[in-house]
Amino acid sequence: MLVRRRDQRGTTLVLVPALALVAVALTGIAVDLTAVHVQQRRAGAIVAAAADDAAAMIDTRRVQLDARAVVDPSAARQVVDAHLRATPPPGRIERVDVVVGADRVTVDVTVRLRRIILRAVPGRGSETTYRVRAEAVVAT
């Protein structure tokens, strides 16, 4: 009894385009996620620098009166605003909150970051919201 084998030479021709499509899709996702991650890190560094600069705004009158280093709230907020205008984080700033304590400044920024490739996928948004929070403490 003879067993005939089917001719399967054409099956690889069907698999190659499918595998190429999967490879292109995975590469696009990796590129998009990497770009968003880089934007997040850059936004974090910019907000941290703004908080550090704001914590350096010591109220000089208070130092002269009772020799305590206390952050000047209005000057700290002005420094954060100026810093974010001079070095804007990537994306679009939606909200900036500056909380000034006696010896610390907390800066909380919400930004909308643009996606590169995943915005072409139906059902996915073209932007993602990212919240950055940085705190700086006055060294006494």
Instruction: List pLDDT tens digits, range 14-65.
Output: 788 889 999 998 998 898 889 889 999 999 999 999 999 999 888 878 877 8
> Taking 80 as the threshold, does the pLDDT of residue 90 lie above it?
yes
**CATH at residue 30:** 3.30.1300
Which residue is listed with tokens 């954060």?
80
In a domain, 6, yes or no: no
Q: What pLDDT score was predicted for residue 123?
A: 72
Q: What is the pLDDT of residue 63?
A: 76
Residue 17: both structure tokens together? 């385009």
What are phi and psi for residue 74, nearest 5 degrees? -70, -40
pTM above 0.85, yes or no: no
User: Which residue bears the tokens 């709230």?
Assistant: 73
* Residue 45 counted as domain residue: yes
Amino acid 17: pLDDT: 87
State the pLDDT at residue 140.
Answer: 66
Counted domains in the chain: 1
* Helices marked H in 4-130: 11-55, 60-66, 73-86
* Chain mean position to CA 87: 14
Residue 137 sits at φ, ψ, to 5 deg, of -115, 140
